[in-house]
Structure 1
Amino acid sequence: MKKTFGFRYTNEDHHLFKLVSIGHEITLDPNYHWNGMKRDGSGFIFQFTLKGTGMLRIGEEHMEICKHQAFFVQIPSDHTYWYSPETTDPWEFIWIRFEGIRGEGLRKELFGGHNNVIHLLPEAAPITLLWKLYEDVNQKQVGDRFDLSLRIYEWLLALQRFLQSKEAVSPHEIPASYRKVASHIDSHYASDISLDDLAEVAGINKYYLCKMFPLYYHVSTMDYLRNRRIEKAAELLQNPHLSIKEIASRCGYHDVSYFGKVFHKMMDMSPSSYRENASKHEDYLRLLE
């Protein structure tokens, strides 16, 4: 799945930001690979992961880009990003590519202290503005080059404000122990997982885990687990061949009645009602932390 919009400018306005491309993509293609020293043109790319994982290399540093992480790179520069064939889940992301009016200074000003990678929630202003620009482009509701430049500048200001706020936490600033807990939950949500299990994964006291995990993920460990389970349940409910009891089991709920109560609390409707209205859902459920 891919929906990309590209732009060409007939006038050389060096005082304007220029939108080169913007898009939303879901890929399982092992050939998805971009080398920052080999692609044409110049400018900047900001790419935010919605689901799945991708890989990023900047210089000698290799990083996994996970859900709710974004990277910012300049073209040309020594970087590559790609979809790993070892990954089984699709990588879904939204991106923008634009040309700036301040060159390298813009990158350093924005991401100097964040190693080009940051963690954002989907409701953060830079992401909501990016989606708004994407939808307006899709609906042909953007104006001329001056309007586009203004929209990019507005988005950059929101990004700069976010990066300078206390909300901005680089994934490298999240201690490895807490990232291990989140990753363990993402991979084992169908298993019986206790707080003691997660504390063992983190290698820290469970009381300290309860105190610190919400500072980085904005939700408790057990609520994070519940959210992942309900997200997966909502996805499986779109398969009419699976019974609700089987879906509950696949999502870590052995008591189908309890599963129904949790689902109703989160979605304000029963699993069966959600299934009946599945055609009205534009995409799989994402519970925002």
Structure 2
Amino acid sequence: MLEYLPRSKQHAELHTTQFGIEECIPGHFFGPAVRSHYLLHYVLSGQGVFEVEGKRYYLKKGQGFLIFPEIITYYQADTSDPWTYCWVGFNGTSAELLLKQAGLTKASPIIHYDRDDMIYQYLQLMNESRVFHKARETRLTGLLYLLLSQLVEYGPVASPEVKETRAEIYVEQVKDFIEMNYPQSITVEDIAQYIGLNRSYLCSLFKERMSVSIQNYLIHYRINKACEMMGNAELSIADISRSVGYNDPLLFSKMFKKLKGSSPKNYRTEIQAQIQDDTQESMIQIEEEHLFYSYMPSSN
């Protein structure tokens, strides 16, 4: 069973390019050759050999190998006990990072997963996705994420480099969550639950990299958003307060003055005066340019 899929325009971060299952004949081989995408093979039974960059790996059931794009590889089924394997090809901007989280790199391309048959089940579900029409591409992407999540969860302990990468991802997730939900009554605990980390650990990690606590980052973000709204004369101070997640206008005024050095009312007066001055200055400049061009002699 083999199926090739068209290039995905909807899921640029991760998408399936092909998948299949093959019961190889004795000695069946492929390569040496290169691929234009990632190609993950998982051995269901039998055994064989995988060669890449001068290294040879003898593999059996519960193991597999990952082919990286543009890397020459060769693999061959055993002559007496040929392997049956399933595979999935994929690509996308998130692919390399997910594979690193699973401990799969060019220097370490071998998969060890013998706890259950989930990888095979996900391949089977990919095959069954043919019955979907409008949502098939999304379903395939979801199944690919699930498959890779198994390798990440039960893969080797992450290297320091990968741990650093994960920390950066968690920080970005905090910032993204705040950006999308700051108008709501969110707490640091809500953020930690969303990301799936212990609150204390997440706070420590965030402060280490951002030099500010999550709580203070949230407060600064809300107040800065409030400042952006101050120029809108149709919004009252109470409207702005509610729009940035403060249902209590007094608390909003207190936090605003603490960060900006003046009350929301005074800050707004200064902003509106500045807007008025800028408008008048622009009008004067336009009038002066008009007079200048009016007095310029015409050329024949």
TM-score by length of 2: 0.45
Q: Which one has the largest radius of gyration?
A: 2
Q: Which has the higher contact order (CA 8 A, sep 6+)?
A: 1
